[in-house]
Amino acid sequence: MTSAHSSSESFSGCFELHNRPEDIQRAERSVLSAIEQLEYDRASVFAIRLALEEALNNAFKHGNKGDPAKQVRLHCRVDPKAVVIEIEDEGDGFDPHSVPDPTEQENVEIPSGRGLTLMRAFMTEVVISPPGNRVHMKYVRPG
């Protein structure tokens, strides 16, 4: 972890990650444990975990194209009202509008391309900034 700050009411952390499962899992655990400490419900934890997994996987696999020398930066802030996650890879980026809709009839049997759809479905806000190597996601706690 590059830096972290936590109190009873909030957590913020910045992680610079290589594509090593143990490092990625450690970062994910830090984020998820902060969410659980603030008593987000099971559905919220499920949603945030899924989006975090998909975004990190996209960053390493499609962004950095599996290059072990490249890093992914994960920044997150958790407070009682919302969770903000920003993930940036070292790739060239992509145009999110160029990703085919996996729910269209002609694409439904294609095995890939659902990560972004799931992130958008489960998070309150997903913004991909040009050139497309940085994603900002926000989850607003229901109720």
Partner 1 sequence: MDRKPMANTSATSRLRVSEHEGITRVEFVDRNILDEANIQQIGAEISRIVDSKTQPKILISFDNVDHLSSAALGTLITINNRVRSKDGQLRLANIDPQIYEVFIITKLNKLFQIHQTTQQALASFS
Binding residues for partner 1 (CB under 8 A): 21, 42-43, 46, 49-50, 53-54, 57, 61, 102-103, 108-115, 117-118, 121
Buried b / exposed e over 104-123, threshold 16 CB at 10 Å, is eeeeeeeeeebbbebbeebb
Q: What distance in Å separates the CA atoms of residue 32 and residue 36, rounded to the nearest whole number?
A: 6
Shorter beta-carbon distance to partner 1: residue 6 or 57: 57
Shorter beta-carbon distance to partner 1: residue 10 or 118: 118
Shorter beta-carbon distance to partner 1: residue 111 or 130: 111
Least Å distance, CB 107 to partner 1, is 10
Least Å distance, CB 125 to partner 1, is 17
Shorter beta-carbon distance to partner 1: residue 4 or 43: 43
102 token code pair: 């996996």
Q: Give 135: exposed, middle or buried? Use CB within 10 Å, 0-12, 13-18, 19+.
A: buried
